[in-house]
Structure 1
């Protein structure tokens, strides 16, 4: 049985890899493993060891803690699931974020302010 933490960590690996435009093959080569192992990590089928997660984090340019961010929100103390949607699971949202960060900073700030105003007006 797959543990929810392994699934969460795997999703975070996949989305970070996708955000920086790296393939499973490229990540695997840089970490020194086969791409099939990356596939298994990303689906949560295989658990990522601490040392391997450290290596993956270095290659993907993050802290190890990044892969656990949002985990507390997965379920409350009573075991109830949170109502916040998993934005990282939505390819359209991830494409939007990637495109957003490609915009020069000054324009990006204005776009952010516009989006916030539209969201508050809705």
Structure 2
């Protein structure tokens, strides 16, 4: 049975990978392992060593602490992770929407945000 910390770290790896639009294969190549190992990390079936977690963080542009954010008692480093529920972060469509949002140029992104805010107030 997987430890809850291993499962949490695996979910955070998957969430970050989805957010930046990276495949398991690409991450595996960047880290120097097979994609099946990434699958096992993401499910919590295999524990990620400290050095491997460091490499994964480097490949995905986050520090090691990112993978522990949201864990019971762990301080959350970003505003998004403090306000977004775990269920939302596990929703692939929501993650795709966030990825698309960040692909929009900054000035247009602000306008889209304002539109979303107005629409959410109406609903």
TM-score calculated relative to the size of structure 2: 0.81
Is 2:26 the partner of 1:26? yes
Residue 108 of structure 1 and its aligned partner are, at CA, apart by 0.7
Q: 1:96 to 1:54 in 2, by over 3 A?
A: same
Q: Note if contact 2:30-2:59 (Cα within 8 Å) is conserved in structure 1.
A: yes
Is 2:44 the partner of 1:44? yes
Q: Which residue of 2 aligns with 1:81?
A: none
Unaligned residue ranges in structure 1 (runs of 5+): 75-83
Q: Which residue of 1 aligns with 2:81?
A: none
Give the Cα–Cα distance (whole angstroms) in 1 for the partners of residues 65 and 86 of structure 2. Answer: 21
Q: 1:109 to 1:24 in 2, by over 3 A?
A: same
Unaligned residue ranges in structure 2 (runs of 5+): 75-84
Residue 20 of structure 1 and its aligned partner are, at CA, apart by 2.1
Aligned Cα root-mean-square deviation (Å): 2.0
Give the Cα–Cα distance (whole angstroms) in 1 for the partners of residues 48 and 86 of structure 2. Answer: 25
Count of residues in correspondence between the two structures:
113
Cα deviation 1:32-76 (Å, max 9, x = unaligned): 1121111100111111111110010001111111111122389xx
Give the Cα–Cα distance (whole angstroms) in 2 for the partners of residues 5 and 97 of structure 1. Answer: 25
3-state secondary structure, aligned to 1:21:
coil
Q: Note if contact 2:2-2:45 (Cα within 8 Å) is conserved in structure 1.
A: yes
Residue 120 of structure 1 and its aligned partner are, at CA, apart by 4.1
Q: Which residue of 2 aligns with 1:105?
A: 106
3-state secondary structure, aligned to 2:48:
coil
Give the Cα–Cα distance (whole angstroms) in 2 for the partners of residues 115 and 93 of structure 1. Answer: 14
Q: Which residue of 2 aligns with 1:8?
A: 8
Residue 2 of structure 1 and its aligned partner are, at CA, apart by 1.1
